[in-house]
Amino acid sequence: MVKRPLIRNKFFLPLATIPIVMSLIGLIFIFEASAIRSASSFGDSFHYLKYQAIWLFVGFFVMTFFSFFDYKKLYFFSFISLGVTILLLMIVLIPGIGLQAGGARRWIDFGFFNVQPTELAKFSIIVYLSSWFVNKERRRFTSFITLVGFLTFLIILQPDMGTAIIVFLLSLILYYLAGMNVINLLLLIPVSIGGFYLLIKAAPYRLNRLLAFFNPAADPKGITYHINQIFISLSQGGFFGQGLGASRQKYLFLPEAHTDSIFAIIAEEYGFLGAVILICLYFIFIYKIYHLIRVAPDKLSKLLATGVFAFFNLQIIINLAGMVGLFPLTGVPLPFLSYGGSNLLISFALIGILLNIEKRVKV
């Protein structure tokens, strides 16, 4: 029997090329958007740039590690990952350990760096559920919904509604694509609506965010300030943009300019044309993952690739939809471009898993 060659580049660019290029571009815009805030807060305009560059360097090695780590062994790794995730999600809620910012307690300070456990939760739920659903004898809806509900509950306690939505949707997508009972998912619809209502009643600020989404002009100096500043950035960009470094909104007008709102800075400086090019790059990247799903060699690899596909799609869609007023602002970062080491590391770890799967695909 003649051994068939391994699959190679199917879409003119290697899978990791766009993420690496976009991360390098992200460094430029993170510096631009954060230089003034960084100088005023830390006395060093390069503060955020240096940290993101370090995370990118580490992320490259994390991606390399998982590209050589046999994805079939992730079944055993997933137990450790999930256990550590649950532990960190509980530890971050302890006052004095979990760092609080903007009314949320989402980070753990390890001295030289901070870790956001919710980002690890995204990785863990993909790896654990993909491994779980391969085994027919473990297809229990009650166990599944208990685990997902517990993780989502811990994330909401921080509170981090955006990540809770992503983890919940990732779980449902994997459950459905694993061939589980669709009726069980339909039963979750009224439960989810009821849970959403209770969350709004428990925290009035969530209702304010929802009202700001429906009427951005309601309180431009209060609850709708953020979205209005985003709209100003987008409108100032026009078709061709103001040019590199010409953004006005980065002068402390736009909140979270170097993190969740970095797309607004890019659109302001490079306009509608630059925004379209950026979205096209994301589309090519997503298409490559979709192609890998189609040729995945086994059920585990197909579920893993599908989880990664959903992960990037959800983050991109939720962030960009929030930027143009099609979805409430949730604090979800834009992959590879927004500042944040935890999200960057998890993103590159997932790409490493895809590269490992790609190595084992036959032509």
Domain assignments of the chain as residue spans, ordered by start: 17-359
What would the mean pLDDT of 331-342 be, rounded to a whole number? 91
Q: What is the pLDDT of residue 251?
A: 86
Q: Give the integer Cα–Cα distance in Å for 304 and 295.
A: 13
Q: What is the pLDDT of residue 302?
A: 94
CA-wise closest residue to 101 among 160, 38, 15, 180? 160
> What is the DSSP pairing of strand 104-109 with strand 98-101?
antiparallel
| 95: preceding bond cis by omega (within 30 degrees) | no
User: pTM for this structure?
Assistant: 0.91
* 115 pLDDT above the threshold of 70: yes
CA-wise closest residue to 141 among 129, 154, 159? 129
Q: What is the pLDDT of residue 193?
A: 80
Q: Which range has the top average pLDDT, 34-38, 123-127, 295-299?
A: 123-127
Q: What is the pLDDT of residue 4?
A: 43
Banded pLDDT at 103 (limits 50, 70, 90): low
Banded pLDDT at 11 (limits 50, 70, 90): very low
CA-wise closest residue to 139 among 184, 192, 84? 184
Which residue in this structure is represented by tokens 């944040």?
Answer: 340
* 2 pLDDT above the threshold of 50: no
CA distances from 102 to 99, 123, 125, 255, 321 (A): 10, 25, 26, 11, 22
* In the chain, % of residues over pLDDT 70: 91
* 262 pLDDT above the threshold of 90: yes
More confident residue, 83 or 106: 83
Which residues fall within 8 angstroms of residue 302, CB to CB, at 6 or more apart? Answer: 293, 296
Summarize pLDDT for 199-226 with one digit per residue, the tens.
777 777 777 777 778 888 777 777 889 9
More confident residue, 5 or 128: 128
Alpha carbon 107 to chain centroid, angstroms:
16
Q: What is the pLDDT of residue 362?
A: 66
More confident residue, 49 or 329: 49
Summarize pLDDT for 316-327 with one digit per residue, the tens.
999 999 999 888
Q: Which range has the top average pLDDT, 215-224, 240-249, 257-266?
A: 257-266
Q: What is the pLDDT of residue 13?
A: 64
Q: What is the pLDDT of residue 54?
A: 94
More confident residue, 108 or 49: 49
Q: What is the pLDDT of residue 183?
A: 79
Which residues fall within 8 angstroms of residue 1, CB to CB, at 6 or more apart? Answer: none
